[in-house]
Amino acid sequence: MKLLKVLVIGVLLIQVNLGWSQSQGIVLNSGVEVIDSYHYSKAFSSNRNYRIFLPPNYRENTEKKYPVIYFFHGWAQRYFGSMGKGYSNYDFGDENDGDNIEKFVSENDVIVLKVDGLNQFKEEPLNLSPYNVSLVSTFRQFPEYFKELIGYIDSHYRTVPDRTHRAVSGLSMGGFMTFWLAAKLPDWVSAAGNFCGSTEFSAGLLDFPVRYAHADMYDNFKTISLRMHNGDSDRLRFYHEDMNRYLLNAVPHYQFKQYEASHVTCGMGDMFIFLKDAFESPLPLPEKWDYIDIYPYFEVWEYKVETSRNRSGYNILENVNKEGFNIAVRNFLPDGELMPSVKVQLTTAPVYKPLTSYKVTDTDVLTEQSREYSLISDARGSLQFVLNGSEHQIGIEVAPNVANLSLTAVEIEDSGWAVSGEEVSLSMKVLNKGFGEAKGIKAKITAISEGLEVLQGEGDLDKLAPLEEKLVKGVFKVKNNRMGYDIAKFKLNFSDESGQSWQEEFEVLFKDPVEEITNFVIADGKEFTIVKEAVDSASMIVGAGNGDGIANPGETIVLLVEKGGEYLRTHAYTTNDYINQGNVSIRIADPWQEYDHIGGTVKYTMPVLSGQIPEGEKIPFYVEYWTPGSISGQHIIHKGKINVTVQGEDKTTPEVQWVQVLNDELIEARIYDGTSVDKVMLTLTPNEGKSTLKHVSWDLVPTTFSIELKDDGLAGDAVKGDGVYSVRISGKPTYFYDLSFEINDSLGNQGRSVRKEPVFLKETRWK
């Protein structure tokens, strides 16, 4: 049988070389026709290969149309199979113990297409990593190419060309692509089947990729029939356990099955039958939808979003329907910093009356500022919004004088975090983003995730005027009895005395009960030799402060755990109001890829202490850190509680988090402090060494100059008070400059920060 496979592939190649028709392939004994072919891709400006499996009688029954499963291969594989001795061959005959694509297609009226993940140009050395993920190395963006491929296949083969008859599946790195594409394109595919896929990779644009984890994207899967298979000896299984602590609770229809297998396409027939069943019974579309995307520009469900974001981040849409939506831009999920300096343009689907004026309410949750204005729909019936990257609650008046209630905050009462197995009290804040008053409001929460108890689930409000926000009267009490799951999902229902009702979902992050950790060190600006990348180490300054190992107000700290003479950085979490004030949230990813070759990262945080913390205040942190296990791919997650006592006064200077130069010579610097920043002066010094470029002669070497950056919302600064300080440079010659900052805070603390890499400024000939 293996010899037959080689002969089949050889004949296919001969056909192409002889110029035979691309639409004709080889018919196997099972009746399945296999074609190796190609098409031209505008997205990649090159020919792209694929292999397609057509069901028996496809040629004879010329009226019949078929659903399609798009399959994505793994590392060191191509559309035709493995590059060498394959870790999983699954196309024909006895491959995969006979549980393969040929067998499924021979018994089911479904087309299967294998995508080629090749991610390189011909003159480059062979790159075994497909799809431009794991290490983002090119400008190729496979999600955009995938839409182009769908268009080509739908126009050249008899497919059922709609999302409910289209699925994705894949192995390993192709499994990562399966869940990524399903989350990215829920309006293009309706089902996803993942074999042993990586749970996290670097993905996105070459200039600013993100650390993308499937566990963060649970709301994108609401309309996707979702399933994953892994093997009980798969070295990725420990990462799958991490992911399942989210997906199994946050996505009720998600299915997971483990087989007695390694890192292979285990249970392929079972998976493909699941996808076929999804074609026949697709999940319903929700009345409100949520969506997250890592690209600055995207389209979904006929909504278009374009942003000026040129740093890593996530664009977040929630509770979208005709009556409005919520939108935000964050630097990471779920609680990263908002990015108000980013400009956002959103165009809705054409669901409104053309050329008609609509009233709009816009509440900025970060600044607590609200406004009302009008927009005129375009000729198609779409509305266009111009916003910033803060968190906005948008209401749209589709009927006169109607309220529109929306949840704006869920807070944990009397505790640093929600503990599984214990009673947790929640308070909720609600906004009326509509245009009429709501009276006699009732609020009720119910459980979506398994293992939840709602002990006290009802509250009320007398009334809410338009653009009014209030706490719901009454404390909600819940209990999570499902240990080991990091998230729980609830449904919230509002109703008023007029009979109107509003529904939405929210999540609570739960932590298992833990013991206190006492062998910790507070890193506040002192040099430590710390563990990195699982088994390596590095000496560096950790945290920011006076370096005395005591948590002082205003410092940026890292909680280190000492283990075997080594220091490990921790992910420290708390809901304490004194921590990370002013839209600050700093999280760093330490990749383990060189160690376990899987793609995961351990994240550690740098809590910023308020300068106003009272002397002796005790702040509890829930912390996690990783150590390597004894089995390949295993990481052991250690959990505990650290109590930090704050002492002394704020003597810490402000910190420069990042600096960037925009196309119009606007310099932006993100600066944070435990209190507030008083003044920022920037000195630009010409860097003659960097400016020595072959064949480039400068008109003159500029002089050093200084200029003040401001956060006042004027003269190019995007948003007042967002922590991004800006200045536009004009009248200076094109050159490379070194940057140094002199910064004062409101308490008189003065500091200096030097940027390591010079920046390039071009001459601006206009003002």
Q: How far apart are CA 110 and CA 157, in angstroms?
A: 12
The DSSP secondary structure of 238-272, one letter per residue, reads HHHHHHHHHHHHH-TT-EEEEES-SSS-TTHHHHH
Cross-strand partners of 424: 478
For 392-433, the pLDDT digits (tens) are 999 999 999 999 999 999 999 988 899 999 999 999 999 999
Fold of domain 28-280: Rossmann fold (3.40.50)
Check residue 125 and give its pLDDT: 81
Asked whether 457 and 493 are in contact (CB, 8 A), the reply is: no
- Please give the structure tokens belonging to residue 234: 């798969």
Check residue 87 and give its pLDDT: 77
Q: Is-above-0.85 flag for pTM?
A: yes
Cross-strand partners of 744: 679, 750
536 to 402, 520, 566, 628: CA distances (angstroms) = 60, 20, 11, 12
Pairing of strands 68-72, 166-171: parallel
Check residue 22 and give its pLDDT: 47
- Please give the structure tokens belonging to residue 528: 């430590």
Check residue 764 and give its pLDDT: 67
Residue among 297, 323, 291 at smallest CA distance from 405: 323
Q: Which residues of the chain have pLDDT under 70?
A: 1-24, 764-767
Q: What CATH code is assigned to 405-511?
A: 2.60.40.10
Burial class (CB in 10 A: 0-12, 13-18, 19+), 412: middle
- Give the three-class secondary structure for 66: strand
Check residue 11 and give its pLDDT: 37
Count of residues for the chain? 767
Check residue 314 and give its pLDDT: 98
Residue with tokens 């409101």: 746
CATH number 1.25.40 given to 655-761: no
Q: How far apart are CA 555 and CA 546, in angstroms?
A: 8
Q: How far apart are CA 682 and CA 667, in angstroms?
A: 10
Asked whether 245 and 450 are in contact (CB, 8 A), the reply is: no
Pairing of strands 289-293, 297-300: unpaired
Q: What is the chain's percent helix, strand, coil content, to nearest 5?
A: 15, 40, 45
